[in-house]
A and B are shown apart, each in its own frame.
Chain A
Amino acid sequence: MLSTVLDQYNYAVVIILMMTGLYVVFASRNLIKKLVGLSIFQTSVFLLYITIGKVSGGQPPIVESHGSDHGNLEIPLVASISEIDSVIQSSSEVLYSNPLPHVLILTAIVVGVATLAIGLSLVVRIREVYGTIEEDKIEEFDRIYYKEILEGQ
């Protein structure tokens, strides 16, 4: 039992980070802290994807030409991905890690940064308008403010 957990400690880290992040998002009433929680939550997914890409015993996925004709690239330019496949298959029994999840996660990181930027700029605007970033106070201010408007009519 313990050894399986230790073998897959990546997943344990992912789960701990994920739950921490989600808990912070839901439990905290401070707008900045919520965004921190959201970032932790998103980061756990990056780790999950990178874990998927790892092939045990796999090398970095860079095609090299081996042997005496080192330097003479047999296929200098590949015209399509299917050719890359054949190069990789013919090139040997070398085991490569899967590069695709890393590429995906680069995209997801950019998405995460954009979300965080929008979130932070919203918090800045909220603080300009309300003078606070505590959710409870914002709700209270709104209740008072709009009650006055309605009574004014």
Chain B
Amino acid sequence: MNLMSIFSQWIIEQGPAFLIVLPLLMGAVTAVIPNKGMAWWITFFVTIICTYTAFSLFQHVYFDSFLLYTMGGWNPPHGISLIVDGLSAPILLLISVMAVLTVIYALPASISEIEPKKRAPFYAAFLICFAGLMGMVITGDAFNVFVFLEVSSISTYALVAMGAARDRRSLAAAYNYLIMGSIGATFFVIGLGFLFMETGTLNMAEMSDILSELDGGSRVSKVGYGFIIVGLGLKIAMFPLHTWLPRAYAYAPTKITIFLASTATKAAIYLLLRFTFTVFDPSFDYIAIMLKYLIMGVAIVGMAFASFQAIFQSDVRRVLAYSSVAQVGYILLGIGIATSSGLAAGYLHLLNHAVIKGCLFISVGAFWYRFGITRVNDFSGLFKTMPLTMGAFTLGGLSLIGVPFTAGFVSKVKLILAAAEQDMWWAVLVIVFSSVLAIVYIGRIILFAYFGTPPKINGSILVKNEAPLMMLFPMWTLGLMSIAIGVNAFGIGDSFVSASEIAASVLLGERG
């Protein structure tokens, strides 16, 4: 046995704990380290190592179905267990890849966004937020979910408020997010309390066994589910509970917007899936009713309404933020359909949307970095001054609309097919309508950028001024990725689709 195989064996065995412990520990180190330049390097290497670990785990469960790690050797149900399966592994990989790309982007962006003395604490808070998100996804203990949810949320509030160096409205946005987020987390913990009352355990697997023995349980677990769904709905930015999101996305530092838009809401959606389908079961009558009338209802209204609102925003970041709310609607629609094709479509759209929104927010961040602009009118003629960045923005935008040969097209078609299977033609209609609205709000920006005249600053037309390489790299990685998913280059598209199908089969209890 050579050293390499021993190492990869060790990664599989200890990886789940490693994913949480390493960023948490290094977050503390980063906060106190005297050499400020080191903070970026530490963060970079931690995210790289976590990506490697998450990828090994993903590969392992992709072929081998299930991995259980018992924290400290205490067996479930008493000890805390970490679970990596077909549902959580893709999200773990997604979060860590997005973290790497965000950190690469953050190095040039920090120069203009964060004061020098706040850079080390910034990376510390980023690592802790990262650890919290990983913990939320990987843990198999219901109360642990709450703790990690708060770990990631509290560091996010601080990170959003760091936008104050550039836009003072970020303080009020962070405060508002804190109030809404804490109410959400508290609702979630009330729900857990009711579940604990009903089942007497906090281990998700045992909870699920007891609930199915009780055939869904009494009114206590129904009320508990209601509280959990409202609490998670606040974190997901489910339609009527989304009011904190546009402000937080628009005024946070651009790199935090990138990270939040592509991971935080996704991790919360993962929790919604985990609780609805594996802790509870869609065969309970109240879960079926919730999925059919509540989840699908807010999905439909959110898709149409948020897309409509996006058209009237004058700030590009707010356009994209409202579009995020609409895209959450697509994902929830897939979840609400609750067939294996619907779930797979929703899960695929979750992954695709993270890639697409990451690409879009990075290019908007690059525009801001070069010219300090975020308003739609200011985008006039940008294609002539920043062609590569605008090119990536266009790829992301087309993918968001769902033009053929892009990632957005693949998942939207799957979603439409899943809805059509159930004869929900009204849902198909709303998906198409919302996509048409996306053409309007993305097309407006792209038209300005391609056909408008470049703005004049101090009387002279702006010269070509491309974004730095460290911003171009992550944005083109994501932009090309969305095309690769669309045309299935190198089998990337197929592996995304099969990952989503595996996740759907885990949710419906057909696999490990």
A residues bordering B, Cβ < 8 Å?
22, 25, 31, 34, 38, 41-42, 45, 48-49, 52, 80-82, 100-101, 104, 107-108, 111, 114-115, 118-119, 122-123, 125-126, 129-130, 135, 138-139, 142, 146
Contacts and interface: CB of A to CB of B under 8 A. Distances in A.
B161 A45 contact: no
Interface in B168-182: 168-169, 171-172, 174-175, 178-179, 182
Interface string B76-109: 0011000000000000000000000000000000
Interface stretch (B150-158, B328-336, B404-412): B150-158
A122 B175 contact: yes
A81 B70 CA distance: 13
Contacts of B350: none
Contact of B157 (A25, A122, A130): A122
21 contacts: A25-B179, A41-B186, A42-B186, A45-B186, A48-B193, A52-B193, A101-B193, A104-B143, A107-B147, A108-B146, A108-B189, A115-B150, A115-B178, A118-B178, A119-B182, A122-B171, A122-B174, A122-B178, A129-B164, A129-B168, A138-B172
Contacts of A115: 150, 154, 178, 182
A135 B175 CA distance: 11
Given A107-B147, A118-B154, A142-B172, A45 B178 contact: no
A38 B185 CA distance: 11
B38 interface: no
Nearest to A108: B189
A48 B190 contact: yes
Interface residues of B, number: 31
Contacts of A129: 164, 168, 171
Contact of B161 (A25, A42, A122): A122
A22 B190 CA distance: 14
Contacts of A100: 202
A119 B171 CA distance: 10
Nearest to A37: B179
**Is chain A's binding surface mostly helix, strand, loop or mixed?**
helix
B183 interface: yes
B143 A38 contact: no
Contacts of B157: 118-119, 122
A108 B197 CA distance: 17
A25 B161 CA distance: 20
Contacts of B41: none
Given A119-B179, A122-B175, A125-B171, 18 more contacts: A25-B183, A31-B175, A34-B179, A41-B186, A45-B186, A45-B189, A45-B190, A49-B193, A52-B197, A82-B75, A101-B196, A104-B143, A115-B150, A118-B154, A119-B175, A122-B174, A126-B172, A146-B169
Given A52-B193, A52-B196, A80-B74, A114 B154 contact: yes
Contacts of B202: 100, 104
Interface of B: 74-75, 78-79, 143, 146-147, 150, 154, 157-158, 161, 164, 168-169, 171-172, 174-175, 178-179, 182-183, 185-186, 189-190, 193, 196-197, 202
Counting chain B CB atoms within 10 Å of each CB, the highest count among A52, A82, A104, A142 belongs to A104
Contacts of A146: 169
Contact of A38 (B171, B174, B179): B179
A130 B175 CA distance: 14
Given A31-B175, A45-B190, A115-B154, A125 B164 contact: yes
A52 to B, nearest CB: 5
Contacts of A31: 175
Contacts of B174: 122
Contacts of B147: 107, 111
A141 B147 CA distance: 37
A135 B158 CA distance: 19
A48 B169 CA distance: 36
Contact of B74 (A38, A81, A123): A81
Nearest to B200: A98
Contacts of B171: 122, 125-126, 129
Q: Which of B168, B174, B182, B190 has the largest count of A CB atoms less than 10 A from its CB? A: B182
Given A126-B175, A129-B168, A41 B154 contact: no
A34 B178 CA distance: 11
Nearest to A116: B182
B175 A123 contact: yes
A118 B189 CA distance: 20
Contact of A81 (B78, B150, B169, B182): B78
Contacts of B143: 104, 107
Nearest to A39: B182
Contacts of A48: 190, 193
Contacts of A82: 75, 78
Contacts of A118: 154, 157-158, 178
User: Which of A34, A107, A115, A126 counts the most B-chain CB atoms under 10 A from its CB?
Assistant: A115
B79 to A, nearest CB: 7
Contacts of B178: 115, 118-119, 122
Nearest to A125: B171
Contacts of A142: 168-169, 172
B359 to A, nearest CB: 28
B183 A22 contact: yes
A139 B175 CA distance: 13
B311 to A, nearest CB: 20
Closest 5 CB pairs of A and B: A81-B78, A111-B150, A122-B175, A126-B171, A115-B182
